[in-house]
């Protein structure tokens, strides 16, 4: 079977909306993919502020934000379809939405971007609300990308995505995996870069010119989250709390804080592998997400992980930038086929689930 799907992803780094038009081919349980067109639509300052402040909205404001963001997603998809001449070529849309609240301990998670609004504006079927079933079954609702790691990238032992939050999948074999959020990443790096007048620290240039603040690095590593066992996940609020020691620090240079933040990410990835990588830790690690373009951070990762015989692999740019949107397209396709798309082995839910709400266009 061949599916042509638009995947939408909005991450906690708030750099923009990732849109990927992909072809997914399934033959006797084996999946292959092609990214046919993709782009990141940067958020305006207004949208960035609305998404950042969503948790402080009143109930009516929150509901209206959900609708407004759904309309924004729908209009963005229509513009993407027109730009790339995709009329009558898209089977359906799979939208992650934007996480504004995540509390697995209360069986609650919320990703805004109203599916009915997207379907109404685009005229296409829409699959969204991809985490709710897993959370209702007692799971973390995260990470949800491991099903994509298994079906599309099963030849890698480690898959690290460095987005707003860094998450890691460790695949021992085709049937066994552990996956979890590692630590805050680009949401801290980008915020510190903005204080230096940049949208991001391109290539880690600012961080590489700073110095390591060892006492602060030790304080960051002492957060209780790092001592907890998988399955586990980070809400945006918890990630911000961990990063507060960096973001709220005004007594040190931003370059030194960025340098220390990069060391912290590398250290936590290294620690995660040591804790969860099994007896034989060597293997290849596929690194994606915006952080894969941070050459300073990649240098730190390679130096750290080489101690365990782990080879860091950075794929082609489209996979680096749009892997999560690609996986959302796959998760939506599995939901369309009514097949398992969220794995309880990595989320801690009582069972695997077929997750996602379907809105007909």
Q: What is the pLDDT of residues 286-340, one digit of tens each?
A: 999 999 999 999 999 999 999 999 999 999 999 999 999 999 999 999 999 999 9
Burial class (CB in 10 A: 0-12, 13-18, 19+), 103: middle
| Strands 2-10 and 30-42, sheet pairing | unpaired
Do residues 192 and 247 touch, judged by C-beta distance below 8 A? Answer: yes
Min mean pLDDT across 40-44, 170-174, 209-213, 315-319 is at: 170-174
pTM of the model: 0.89
Taking residues 58-73, what's their average pLDDT? 97
CA distance 138 to 178: 17
Query: pLDDT digit string (tens) for 4-14?
Result: 999 999 987 78
pLDDT exceeds cutoff 70 at 174? no
The answer to whether the peptide bond before residue 263 is cis (omega within 30 degrees of 0) is no
- State the burial class of residue 111 (Cβ atoms within 10 Å of its Cβ: 0-12, 13-18, 19+): buried
Would you say 315 and 286 are in contact if contact means Cβ atoms under 8 Å apart?
Answer: yes
Residue predicted with more confidence, 14 or 62: 62
Phi/psi of residue 197, each to 5°? 85, 15
Q: Is the N-terminal amide bond of 265 cis, ω within 30° of 0?
A: no
Q: Tell me where in the chain the CATH 3.30.420.40 domain(s) lie.
A: 2-140+323-359, 146-319
d(CA 61, CA 72): 16
107 contact partners, CB below 8 Å, separation of at least 6? 135, 136, 138
> Whole-angstrom distance between the N-terminal and C-terminal Cα of the chain?
22
Q: Which of 159, 187, 165 is nearest to 277 (CA)?
A: 159
Q: Which CATH number fits domain 146-319: 3.30.830.10, 3.30.420.40, 3.30.1370.100, 3.40.50.300?
A: 3.30.420.40
Q: How far is the CA of 80 from the CAs of 6, 19, 28, 147, 241, in angstroms?
A: 10, 8, 32, 27, 36
Q: Which of 141, 185, 177, 175 is nearest to 159 (CA)?
A: 177
Residue 141 has pLDDT above 70, yes or no: yes
Residues 2-140+323-359: name the CATH superfamily.
ATPase, nucleotide binding domain (3.30.420.40)
Cβ contacts of 182 within 8 Å, gap of 6 or more: 160, 165, 166, 167, 168, 265, 268, 269, 272
- Total length of the chain: 361
Q: Is 9 in contact with 96 (CB distance < 8 Å)? A: yes
- Predicted local confidence at residue 196, as pLDDT: 86
Q: Are strands 177-184 and 165-171 parallel, antiparallel or unpaired?
A: antiparallel
Joined tokens for residue 134: 């897993």
357-359 vs 126-128, strand pairing mode: antiparallel
| Both structure tokens of 347 | 């989320």
Question: Which residue(s) pair with 169 in the sheet?
Answer: 159, 179
Q: In the numeric block, which tokens belong to residue 135?
A: 């959370």
The mean pLDDT of 196-220, rounded to a whole number, is 95
Q: Using the predicted structure, report yes or no on whether residue 236 has a pLDDT greater than 90.
A: no
Residues 144, 134: contact at Cβ < 8 Å?
yes
Pairing of strands 283-288, 177-184: unpaired
pLDDT of 57 reads 93
* Mean pLDDT, rounded, for 269-296: 93
């Amino acid at each position: 079977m061949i599916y042509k799907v638009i995947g939408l992803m909005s991450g906690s780094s708030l750099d923009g909306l990732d849109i990927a038009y992909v072809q997914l081919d399934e033959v006797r349980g084996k999946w292959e993919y092609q990214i046919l067109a993709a782009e990141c639509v940067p958020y305006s300052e207004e949208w960035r502020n609305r998404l950042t402040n969503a948790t402080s909205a009143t109930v009516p404001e929150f509901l209206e934000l959900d609708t407004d963001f759904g309309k924004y997603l729908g209009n963005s998809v229509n513009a993407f379809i027109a730009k790339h001449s995709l009329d009558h070529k898209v089977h359906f849309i799979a939208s992650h939405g934007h996480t504004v609240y995540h509390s697995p301990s209360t069986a609650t998670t919320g990703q805004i971007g109203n599916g009915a609004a997207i379907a109404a504006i685009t005229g296409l079927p829409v699959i969204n609300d991809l985490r709710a079933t897993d959370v209702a079954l007692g799971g973390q609702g995260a990470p949800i990308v491991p099903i994509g790691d298994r079906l599309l990238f099963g030849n890698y032992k480690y898959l690290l995505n460095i987005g707003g939050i860094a998450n890691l999948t460790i695949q021992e074999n085709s049937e066994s995996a552990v996956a979890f959020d590692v630590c805050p990443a680009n949401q801290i790096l980008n915020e510190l870069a903005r204080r230096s007048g940049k949208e991001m620290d391109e290539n880690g240039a600012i961080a590489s010119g700073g110095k390591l603040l060892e006492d602060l690095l030790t304080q960051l590593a002492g957060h209780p989250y790092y001592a907890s066992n998988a399955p586990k996940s980070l809400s945006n609020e918890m990630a911000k709390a961990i990063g507060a020691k960096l973001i709220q620090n005004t007594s040190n240079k931003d370059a030194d804080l960025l340098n220390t933040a990069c060391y912290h990410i590398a250290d936590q990835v290294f620690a995660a592998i040591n804790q969860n990588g099994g007896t034989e830790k060597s293997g290849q690690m596929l690194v994606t997400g915006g952080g894969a373009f941070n050459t300073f951070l990649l240098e730190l990762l390679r130096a750290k992980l080489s101690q365990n015989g782990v080879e860091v692999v950075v794929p082609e740019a489209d996979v680096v930038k749009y892997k999560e949107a690609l996986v959302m397209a796959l998760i939506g396709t599995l939901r369309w086929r009514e097949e398992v798309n969220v794995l309880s082995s990595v989320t801690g839910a009582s069972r695997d689930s077929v997750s996602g709400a379907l809105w007909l266009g």
